[in-house]
A and B are shown apart, each in its own frame.
Chain A
């Protein structure tokens, strides 16, 4: 199984919106709505911020939103804040009967 493809880095100024893409195949993102997104600050465990493509867990800011079109999922962060600077990973269930992660995206707040 191949990793899902994410841009290595995305940056934006405070208050702006940014979008991180996550490209898979018809065997994972294109087939299942089990796409989730995780935020990871340095030295910390990842934190779930989006599940089932577009659902936010309780306590996660509504500045985070998710969507999917075909084989590509996207995470949008609106009103970018300094605390959003972190690594972000997508994941999807796949026909190999396991979960495949994305390559990871480093978000920098300028």
Chain B
């Protein structure tokens, strides 16, 4: 059974860096074709893909956020960590961790709401 769970702060201040951790189980990030990443959804708005990291260390990044985003994996700890720098209130959103196989997001975490406010 594949599960993913997001953890991190729920309230961060503008200009700070957000660090979110996805802890997963039920699969290995060493398996060919598998990726884990992050998608966010501002309140009442559409989904937005942020970044993904794959079994072969390849990464994808949202071009509009690329300079602010880093994604890393720790295969042995079964975790993927997202960092988003220089936060703005517009970054307030629910952040989802996702499992990618065949270029589709087959499994999602429950999501974590992050509010950016001073």
A51 lies within 8 A of B60 (CB): no
Assess whether A45 is in contact with B111, with CB atoms less than 8 Å apart.
yes
**Contacting residues, chain A, for B111 (C-beta < 8 A):** 45
Closest A residue, CB atoms, query B105: A48
Whether A89 is near chain B, meaning CB under 8 Å from some CB there, is: yes
Contact between B103 and A34 (Cβ–Cβ < 8 Å)?
yes
| Any A CB within 8 A of the CB of B56 | no
Q: A6's closest neighbor in chain B, by CB?
A: B46
The answer to whether A98 and B108 touch across the interface, beta carbons within 8 angstroms, is no
B57 is an interface residue with CB less than 8 A from chain A: no
CB <8 Å contact, B46 and A1: no
From the candidates A36, A46, A47, A98, name the one contacting B61 in the complex (CB within 8 A): A98
Taking a contact as CB atoms under 8 Å apart, the answer to whether B64 and A36 are in contact is no
Number of A residues near B (Cβ < 8 Å) is 25
Asked if B108 and A47 sit within 8 Å, CB to CB, the answer is yes
User: Is A51 within 8 A of B104, CB to CB?
Assistant: yes
In the complex, what residues of B have CB within 8 A of residue A3's CB? 46
Interface residues in A43-64 by Cβ distance below 8 A to B read 45-48, 51-52, 57
Minimal Cβ-Cβ distance residue in A for B99: A48
Tell whether, in the assembled complex, residue A52 and residue B102 are in contact, meaning their CB atoms are under 8 Å apart: yes
Q: Mark B19-59, 1 if CB is under 8 A from A, else 0.
A: 00000000000000000000100000011110010000000
Report whether A101 and B48 are in contact in the complex, using a CB–CB cutoff of 8 Å: yes
Residues 89-118 of B contacting A (Cβ, < 8 Å): 96, 102-106, 108-111
In contact, A36 and B105 (Cβ under 8 angstroms): yes
- A48–B2 alpha-carbon span in the complex (Å): 14
How many angstroms between the C-alpha atoms of A102 and B39 in the bound complex? Answer: 13
The residue in A45, A52, A103 that gathers the most chain B C-beta atoms within 10 A of its C-beta is: A45
- Select B106's contact among A48, A98, A104, beta carbons within 8 Å: A48
**Looking across the interface, which residue of chain A has its beta carbon closest to that of B45?**
A104
Identify the closest chain A residue to B46 (Cβ).
A104
What are 12 pairs between A and B in contact, CB < 8 Å?
Answer: A1-B62, A34-B103, A34-B104, A36-B105, A57-B106, A91-B47, A97-B61, A98-B49, A98-B60, A100-B49, A102-B46, A103-B46
